[in-house]
Chains A and B, each alone.
Chain A
Amino acid sequence: MPGIRRWSVLSLGLALPTAFFVLGPLGFLLWMGATQEGADFLERARDLELPRVVGQVALLATLTTAWAAALGVPLAWLTVRTDLPGRRLIHWLAPLPLAIPPYIGALVYQILLAPGGVLPNFLGVTSLPLNLYGVGGAAWVLGLFMSPYLYLLVSGALERTNPALEEVARGAGLGPRQVLRRVTLPLLRPALLAGGLVVFLYSWADFGVVSLLRVRTLTTIIYDYIQGTADWALPSALSILLTAITILVLLLQLRVLGRAGYTQIVGAVKPAPLVSLGAWRWPAFAYVGGMVTLTLLLPLGVLGYQASRLPAPAAFVLIQWPYFLNSLWTAVSGASLALLIALGVAWSEGRGRAWRVSGLLQVGYAIPGTVLGLGMAGFLHAALPGIYATSLALIVTYFVLYVTPACQSVKAALVQLHPSLEEAARSLGRGPLAAFWAVTLPLIKPGLLGGWILVFVLSMRELAATLIVRPPGFDTLPVRIWIYAMDVGPEPRAATLALILVLTIALPWAMMLSLRSRGIPPSG
């Protein structure tokens, strides 16, 4: 069939350059890591107590995932399925903390809870009995600011779940608990697993939070070697190790999740009847209020307060203006590039049984930022010196890191669209591109916009890779925040920039969320 061949050509055309940029950095690291003598590496790996470190990161990732689930999942159920007061507003507010990068969350809780922070000073003690520095503190911060991922996925799944299934179960004589355990939870399993995986992998590869909160992880070890030594071999070897474990987790996930992740529950059915909370309304409301406080009000309040202590804010902001522009347009370009490629990939895969390029793209998502930065810098200089140390290098980096979420958004939008619509247009004499332009594109617009904003948000706040890849004189907002927070000290400046970053991210994010929450009926 010529049609299939055409899609194959398109996907091949997309696959080759993508593979080049995704696999190139990894290849570069493998090559650099291979130069290390094996015995020497093993000796140093022992000195670094790698097994203990890997165990500690696994613990951190597990705690974070559990904490994020404990926060996000009940919240999703409360807003979608109960008569919680103000549920529409909450449905809009709950995902907003994603606009606050976890490292900024860490900065905020450092200002609040660390020794010498606001709360210890207020209580007149040097440090609190519960130490923020360590795995517990890092899991606290990561869980708080990652919980919206779980919220988004689980609330989405709850909205799509056919309530008839639960009604039938109740009719068959099951109690509410049994319905939850035997019907609702299994239906939510794909969403729970997918959300849990995002949170797990993110905390597994996190750099910003763990370094601010003094947890030794593979990424901090890599970064310390990168900062302090001119050595290539050890950081490269550790990077390969880190990436290998990440890919392993991803493969494991594919086995566990299997095809379940792709099962679509067909049909927008009538909305589920709302559970009446009765006397529980107010405790539930307090729980939700507590979450909004911890993830939104407190961070914004602390940043705002710190920023207000900045002397001559106008002059400061004016100096930082170029960095803001740097961030803005690299993120805009990165998101646009990612979306264009994702559109091509998802379209050809969805319509033509073409090459599975998206599996390859996922490797990019599995590479932690620190590792990708190191590999990308070396690889670009060797392969594309014209791009090396230009802002294009940053755009390519954002593309490789975040094309997968873009792809997922586009695919999700395409799945809901029956190919017969496009075929109808073609049968009326339109060419494939014209049919796509006239029929498909307008229909998947919201999905595309969502994907674009997601990549934009993630790129705007990217820190680890940007630190290594950025050209001279081309800092981004996260880099400036990092410089002020980690190295120079006066927190008002870091807080001011953090506030600007959060608001810049929050704007399109809030816009997207209000589009989405139109589907939610007001609470009674």
Chain B
Amino acid sequence: MKRAAILLLGLGLGLSATLPARASASEVVVYSARKEDLLRPVLDAFQKDTGIKVTLLTGKAGDLARRIEVEKSDPRGDVFLGTTAGIAELLRRKGLLSPYFSPAAQEVPEEFKAPDGSWVGVTGRVRVLIYNKNRVSDAELPRSFFDLTDPKWKGKVAVASMGERTTVSWLAASMALRGEEATRQYVRGLRDNGLKVLNNNTEVRKAVARGEYAIGITNHYYYLLQLHDDPASPVGILYPDQGADGIGAPMFSITASILNGAKHPEAARALIDYLLGPRGNRLLVQGEFEIPLIPGIPVPGEDKGVKGLGQFKRAGATQLQLADLEPKVEKLFGPSLIP
């Protein structure tokens, strides 16, 4: 009978521990689609500087968006950090975000902010190509995303699945600048050319660094993450479509938003101010290896060939345009973007 008692005790213990903890005034619940490791330093600094406790739920963007939607009537999160504007804009249209014009956001370029203040870009990421230096010589490097349908790259290119939101945004940029038909043909061409879809961008950078694939279509900070992991990796970075006739490299941003009906609106605003403020933004940019949207903050990896805002040709599609096109990309190309 002792064991039965222990079982009951265990059950009771379990039940008691699930009782909702008292809502603390100085707390903020962050739903983040960003890698936890990269975000931690700035969140820890925020917690230390303000005394506001940060509770973090890390997930993928779509996962979190669905959660926010389910919790509509009784939001459990305060701040949503998305990987591109697409999901944030979708949430805005469903009335799930609460506008906030942070005074710290003034220097962020207009195109990285929702007109009604529902989301704001806090750092930038550029869609680039990374390549394995042992498998591709400088002379034969492609110059454009659109060169990758060339038979010479057959079976040598990898990209992350649409589980990574930036993959969707990347094709949205092509839709915006080259039209639907051209993008359809492009995706078909990539598929016929044996484009390898991997689970996520981390797998892409690792597979390219190992030489499994010669070229990876990914975001610029994965190049830096790879070098951070192993400084001797034979990887290079390439900004595609930079020529006079090129569409430029698409840019996305991490977005910060406050959820509609957030239980800790004050703390949520404080966090967004902090993420855009001089100390917080510097930490965030450094931690994420991204490029700053605010002038005066150093560009991580500049010595390794990473270019800051204004130093490369940017694809001329605004974040809003991309967000508009993303549902269509999901529908048209989703099935081609699954491992």
Contacts and interface: CB of A to CB of B under 8 A. Distances in A.
Interface of A: 44, 47-49, 115-116, 126-127, 211-212, 214, 216, 220-221, 223-232, 329-330, 332-333, 336-337, 339-340, 377-378, 381, 385, 388-392, 395, 437, 441, 445, 449, 452, 467-468, 470-473, 483, 486-490
B57 A228 contact: no
A227 B61 contact: yes
Contacts of B8: 336
B172 interface: no
Interface string B151-191: 00000000001111101100000000000000000000000
A336 B330 contact: no
A225 B334 contact: yes
A486 B202 contact: yes
B14 A226 contact: no
B338 A48 contact: yes
Interface stretch (B62-70, B243-251, B282-290, B308-316): B62-70
B304 interface: no
Nearest to B326: A229
Given A115-B210, A329-B17, A330-B14, A230 B29 contact: no
B76 interface: yes
B56 interface: yes
Contact of A226 (B29, B62, B225, B331): B62
21 contacts: A47-B334, A47-B335, A47-B336, A49-B335, A116-B206, A214-B199, A214-B339, A229-B334, A230-B65, A230-B87, A231-B330, A333-B11, A333-B13, A333-B15, A336-B8, A388-B70, A441-B4, A471-B57, A472-B55, A473-B55, A486-B202
A401 B1 CA distance: 27
Nearest to B74: A385
Contacts of B24: none
Contacts of B74: 385
Contacts of B192: none
A224 B14 contact: no
A489 B202 CA distance: 7
A227 B62 contact: yes
Contact of A227 (B3, B163, B206): B163
Contact of B165 (A214, A221, A228): A228
Nearest to A456: B10
A375 to B, nearest CB: 11
Contact of A473 (B18, B57, B161): B57
Interface string B138-154: 00000000000000000
A488 B228 CA distance: 12
Contacts of B71: 381, 388-389
B90 A390 contact: no
Contact of A395 (B14, B55, B73): B14
Contacts of A378: 70
Interface in B47-100: 55-63, 65-67, 69-71, 73-74, 76-77, 87, 90-91
A84 B35 CA distance: 51
A47 B199 CA distance: 19
B34 to A, nearest CB: 10
A472 B74 CA distance: 14
A487 B211 contact: no
A49 B336 CA distance: 10
Contact of A487 (B10, B56, B200, B339): B200
A228 B61 contact: yes
A48 B335 CA distance: 5
Given A126-B211, A229-B330, A488-B36, A472 B14 contact: no
A483 B202 contact: no
B162 A228 contact: yes
A390 B20 contact: yes
Interface string B208-245: 00111000000000000100010000000000000000
A224 B57 contact: no
B66 A226 contact: yes
B112 interface: no
In the A-B complex, the 7 residue pairs with the smallest Cβ-Cβ separation, listed nearest first, are A333-B14, A227-B60, A472-B57, A47-B335, A227-B163, A116-B210, A230-B65
B195 to A, nearest CB: 14
A357 B338 CA distance: 39
B338 A333 contact: no
The CB with the most chain A CB atoms within 10 A, among B87, B161, B338, is that of B338
A468 B165 CA distance: 18
A230 B90 contact: yes
Contacts of B87: 230
Contacts of A336: 7-8, 10-11, 14
A329 B164 contact: no
Given A329-B10, A329-B17, A473 B63 contact: no
A437 B29 CA distance: 47
B77 A472 contact: yes
A486 B199 contact: yes
Contacts of B339: 211, 214, 216, 220, 224
B31 A490 contact: no
B107 interface: no
B330 A228 contact: yes
Contacts of A44: 331, 334-335
B198 interface: yes
Contacts of B61: 227-228
Contact of A391 (B18, B57, B70, B337): B18
Contacts of A339: 7
B225 to A, nearest CB: 8
Given A223-B163, A377-B70, A229 B62 contact: yes
Contacts of A48: 335, 338
B63 A227 contact: yes
Contacts of B14: 329-330, 332-333, 336, 391, 395
Contacts of A126: 210-212
Contacts of A224: 161-163, 337-339
Given A115-B210, A329-B13, A391-B17, A228 B60 contact: yes
A206 to B, nearest CB: 14
Contacts of B31: 472
B303 interface: no
Contacts of B59: 227, 467
